[in-house]
Amino acid sequence: MGKRTDISLLEQRPPAPPSALSPGDLRRLAQAATAPNPPPNPPPSRPHARSLYIHVPFCAHKCHYCDFYSIVDTRDRQAAFSDRLARELAAWSPLAAGAPLRTIFVGGGTPSLLRVDLWQAVLAALDRHYDLSDIRAGAGEFTVECNPESVTTELLDTLAAAGVNRISMGAQSFNPSHLRTLERLHKPERVAAALDLIRRAGIPRSSIDLIYAIPGQTLADFQRDLDAAIALSTDHLSCYNLTYEPQTAMTARLARGEFTPADEDTEIDMFREATSRLERAGLARYEISNYARPGSESRHNLAYWRQEQWIACGPSAAAHITLADGPHRWKNTPRLDDYLAHDDHGFTTAQDHEPPDPRRALVERIMTGLRLREGLHADTILAAAASLDPHAPARLSLRVEHAVAHGHIDADKANPPVGTPPRWCLTDAGMLVHNAIARSLTRVLG
């Protein structure tokens, strides 16, 4: 059920192949992140992580389009997983010491499939090892992904009592035929029933996911999906175009000729329809695929798109932590058996470790920042580009001017009145070709 941030789509010149990390490697990284700065001239303290992602891998059924790590567990490993997760949460907690967490996001998989007694154990571990005062006071955000068919009153009451204040629900469509195409198990009417339970439990915020460009889906079908979602009075809606990821059942079916994918013109019409219909309903686009009422944006996902730090726990969870030498990324082992078997003081094995690289960091900043309606601070990006190559800012500015001339970057924000900092913000037309614009900008970085 997880959310994509397109970090995987980055075009970059890799400084070295991503490498694997042992549990001991991760333990040493954690120790380095929390070690005091040495005398005689210690640099400023590094800000510690204020966001936490937890991955729960269990699913009742593997949806055909999904490439996030999930399993249909036939060996009853939920208790072993929750015990292991509690140890990992404890291991990483020093990185968040000294200030409250701002955001927690529990994704999967289907987190709502975890047994309530095991949820209670995980929530107790969170409360023991992390400062949740902002979340409990309503100043922070604690999101749990749920599927409509696995939401229960007992679960929601447990989550609400622990400070969960936002539920993200995968509706995907309200058309039974399209749900069958996606291999979704729930009935459309179950979404409204689940939202009613969420509100009765006192959880104030909710988000609904929709998928468009489903094979056989018409523009009118998608309009009805949008209207059904709007009628549920949710304060946040995500609209993702169906993508055919490698190694998924959906892609295999496409290769066998079992269906015809949506044509590009229809997909573009659906993209535009989402914006116009949702904005008329008071849900403004703040990111390419995400719409919210004012103040209801996903704060956790904003931390991703703004390249902040986050701790990650659970199999396949991806982390972004800044050490003295710069930002590091890695992904926990994407196999539950390996996650359970490898435990060094709570740390597990990891893969795809990306050590600090200034160019890659700037590429990521441009790629993810352009996804947001707020865009990028031009002066900050140009300064970072100059640190890589003194000629890069001039080349970058020319590319931006080209995008402005074609109506892809907002001219008024890129060239504001004197005294107003310039920003590079994609127009609606620019958001349709986000990847092309981001590639155009990042290719000139040397």
pLDDT tens column, 18-54 = 689 999 999 998 988 887 765 554 444 555 799 999 9
Cα–Cα distance between 350 and 156 in angstroms, integer? 32
Count other Cβ atoms within 10 Å, centred on residue 95: 22
User: What's 149's DSSP letter?
Assistant: G
- Which H or E element spans position 378? helix 378-388
Report which of 123, 110, 121, 114 is spatially closest to residue 52, judged by C-alpha positions.
Answer: 123
Cα–Cα distance between 263 and 166 in angstroms, integer? 35
Report which of 388, 375, 370 is spatially closest to residue 423, judged by C-alpha positions.
Answer: 375
Q: Is the pLDDT of residue 1 over 50?
A: no
Report which of 306, 286, 283 is spatially closest to residue 377, judged by C-alpha positions.
Answer: 306
Residues 6+ apart with CB under 8 A from 36: 42
pTM for the structure as a whole: 0.93
Residue 279 tokens read as: 């904005």
Report which of 313, 428, 336, 444 is spatially closest to residue 390, judged by C-alpha positions.
Answer: 444
Residue 8 tokens read as: 């995987």
Q: List beta partners, residue 208.
A: 169, 237
Return the pLDDT at 11.
Answer: 30
Residue 156 tokens read as: 């929601």
User: What's 261's DSSP letter?
Assistant: P
> pLDDT per residue over 206-244, tens digit each?
999 999 999 999 999 999 999 999 999 999 999 999 999
Residue 51 CA neighbour count, 13 Å, CB half: 25
DSSP per residue over 269-338, as a string? HHHHHHHHHHHHTT-EEEETTEEESTT-S-HHHHHHHTT--BEEESTT-EEEEEETTEEEEEEE-S-HHH
> pLDDT per residue over 376-403, tens digit each?
999 999 999 999 999 999 999 999 999 9
> pLDDT per residue over 156-206, tens digit each?
999 999 999 999 999 999 999 999 999 998 999 999 999 999 999 999 999
Whose tokens are 């006192």? That residue is: 202
> pLDDT per residue over 322-364, tens digit each?
888 889 999 999 999 999 999 999 999 999 999 999 999 999 9
Number of continuous H segments (helices) and E segments (strands) in the chain: 18, 15
